[in-house]
Amino acid sequence: MDGYLGSYATLGLVLAAGVLLFVAAFGANRLLSPANPAEPPGKRIAYESGVDPVGGDWAQAQIRYYVYAYLYVLFAVEAVFLFPWALIFDRPAFSGFALAEMGVFVAVLALGILYAWRKRILTWT
């Protein structure tokens, strides 16, 4: 389809095909699914690893596990920024400004680890 409105016509056809596929999928689901499915006994009981549940459905988790996860994500993501920098370190165009910038970045990382160490967040008790 050429011309001024050709791109819009192509876009309209793609959108119409998407809507038609969506309607056909949900229509087939409605036609093929049973009206009143059987409810076997115990279907709505919580199930995990083949063990019957014991106790209530609410469990309290300690906040330190979230702190460990947060620290891991924080330092893992920041470590990802070090790899591209290390790959271009030996290039001639590498300037002192880039070196100073990475020094500030590593200093902030070191301050974060020092803070976590001083607050005894990293001790497992």
67-92 pLDDT per residue, tens: 788 888 888 888 888 888 878 777 77
Res 47: pLDDT: 64
| pTM value > 0.75 | no
- Return phi, psi of residue 117, to 5°: -70, -40
What pLDDT is recorded for position 48? 62
Token pair of 94 as six digits: 């590498």
d(CA 59, CA 39): 28
11 membership: H or E segment, kind and range = helix 6-32
Q: What pLDDT shows up at residue 53?
A: 63
pLDDT above 70 covers a percentage of the chain that reads 86
Per-chain mean pLDDT for the chain:
81
Residue 1 has pLDDT above 70, yes or no: no
Residue 125: predicted pLDDT: 66
